[in-house]
């Protein structure tokens, strides 16, 4: 009986921690990753334009 009294708060803590990680991933990490990808694409485009100007 003592093990269930210890296991329940630990499981609750782990579930809450998992929810926090999921919320962070969905609302913070994904939008930041999209912005980073957009900046990368823009940087690659600028590099290509610079190369075309140098070759012209």
Q: What pLDDT does residue 55 have?
A: 85
- Interval 19-37 mean pLDDT: 92
pLDDT surpassing 70 at residue 33 = yes
Residue 33's alpha-carbon distances to 1, 23, 37, 38, 53, in angstroms, are 46, 15, 6, 9, 30
Above pLDDT 90, what percent of the chain?
54
Q: Which residue has the tokens 């694409």?
A: 41
Q: Is the pTM of this model over 0.75?
A: no
Q: What is the DSSP string of 1-56?
A: -HHHHHHHHHHHHHHHHHHHHHHHIIIIIHHHHHHHHHHHHHHHHHHHHHHHHHH-
pLDDT band at 8 (very low <50, low <70, confident <90, very high): confident
Q: What pLDDT does residue 48 have?
A: 94
pLDDT surpassing 70 at residue 4 = no
């Amino acid at each position: 009986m003592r093990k269930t009294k210890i296991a329940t708060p630990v499981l609750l803590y782990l579930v809450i921690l998992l929810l926090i990680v999921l919320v962070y991933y969905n609302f913070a990490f994904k939008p930041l990753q999209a912005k980073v990808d957009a900046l990368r694409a823009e940087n690659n485009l600028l590099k290509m334009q610079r190369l075309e100007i140098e070759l012209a």
